[in-house]
Chain A
């Protein structure tokens, strides 16, 4: 019963480097989301997808790109990492009609 799986769980980058976070879900959910979590700010939506091949911007999309080439996977990319992108990133998914979000365990990213 994997649910939502995020890789990697930890990563340290230098300013200017690029990387991709992978989110995989095995629940056949239509919707997928990428959030970042910072102290005192709860979760803020970066990008989301309502189905394979679609993406949309959330509250804080600048500096990030996403792709949903397969229904079960949602990738979050950082083209040129900045220290302000140091955060814990969470992926979530949900069914088309349901409101419950299912979250992964998070990916902690540090940008030096």
Chain B
């Protein structure tokens, strides 16, 4: 059983639409990261959130850390084909050395 569950697993939308990806757990994390992975490559960090309730924006992407630090969401406004990829959340417990990755959300944005 994965420590972090993401939903939806697959998402296919038209260019210009908005979407939200969820990352949920029953465990508390000291920080939560979001990565994007493109085919044939390794994941690349998008953002790190560390405070419960924190909201960070990266252009059209908005990331939120839940108040209880057990969940997170990624919202994309006006999706573009360049947003296509696999989105992964990763949680770190108590500044430990392990990073627990979510199950992943595969996003396809159709032109």
Interface residues of A, Cβ cutoff 8 Å to B: 4, 31, 33, 35, 40-45, 48, 50, 56, 58-59, 90, 92, 99-101, 103-106
Contact = CB atoms under 8 A, between A and B. Distances in A.
B26 interface: no
A99 B33 contact: yes
Interface residues of B, number: 25
A43 B99 CA distance: 10
B101 A50 contact: no
A28 to B, nearest CB: 18
A104 B99 CA distance: 16
A105 B42 contact: yes
B103 A42 contact: yes
11 contacts: A35-B101, A41-B103, A42-B102, A43-B90, A45-B101, A59-B100, A99-B92, A101-B35, A105-B41, A105-B42, A106-B40
Contacts of A92: 42
Contacts of A90: 42-43
B62 interface: no
Nearest to A49: B97
B2 interface: yes
Q: By CB atoms of chain A within 10 A, which of B6, B97, B100 has the most?
A: B97
